[in-house]
Structure 1
Amino acid sequence: MANIKKWYKITQLENIPLMGSRKVKIGEIEIAIFKTRDGSIFAINNICPHKKGKLSEGLVHETQVTCPLHSWEIDLKTGEALGNDKGCTGIFETKIKNETIYICL
């Protein structure tokens, strides 16, 4: 049986500041939504693969977020830990329609 994906309306684009984030919960999944300096939107699992820190509370720079617990850097495009760190968190497809952010699960 094929998995059927669904798009979820999250928030208006203006509700997330540049270099900022928001967290949302869809069912049991907590997701961190990030807006980079150039206005790109990324959505990843809100849990760092290292010590389970809340990535939505981290610092956004370029297309990475730094975990607030132990400064692991996570690539927002891939969910992969950068540098010498090893680990990965889930990523989610996003789209913007009429200034509204949607996430596909």
Structure 2
Amino acid sequence: MEQLLNKIFVTKVNELPEKLGKTVQAGDLELAIFKLEGGDIRVIENRCPHKGGVLAEGMVSGKHVFCPMHDWKISVVDGKVQDPDVGCVQTFDVEVKNENVYVILPQK
């Protein structure tokens, strides 16, 4: 069965600081969006699975963000928490068209 997708505008590319996170809303979801070195844009849920830290406020290094509360290292590519900690956050596909950034969500 084909899954229907919902494309939601969240920001403009030029409004994203490089190597810093930004909190955006997509429907009822609060997401963290990151523009990595080289311009790659990634979106993950905005809460650390450990204690709910706001990931958009974390420090970005390469393809990881460090939770500002307890320094958990989380991949912005696949959402996996790095060893020795365990857990994951949801990741979301992104589409950029005419400098507009859209998050792709499954329709409910």
TM, length-normalised to structure 2:
0.91
Counterpart CA distance in 1 for 2:47 and 2:2 is 27
Q: What is the rounded CA distance, in whole Å, between the counterparts of 1:99 and 1:41 in structure 2?
A: 12
State the shift of 1:83 in Å: 2.0
Q: CA RMSD in A?
A: 1.2
Aligned length: 105
Give, in whole Å, the separation in 2 of the partners of 1:72 and 1:47. 12
Identity among equivalent positions (%) equals 37
| Pair 1:54-2:54 in alignment | yes
- Name the aligned partner's letter for residue 4 of structure 2: I
Structure 2 spans left out of the alignment, 5+ residues = none
Within 1, Cα distance between the matches of 2:96 and 2:59? 23
Aligned to 2:5, the other structure's residue is in SS state coil
Structure 2 CA distance for aligned equivalents of residues 91 and 36 of structure 1: 15
**Residue in 1 aligned with 2:9?**
9
1:9-50 deviation digits (Å, cap 9, x = unpaired): 111101011111211122321000001111110000000011
SS state at 2:56 partner: helix
Structure 1 residue runs of 4 or more that deviate by more than 4 Å after TM superposition: none
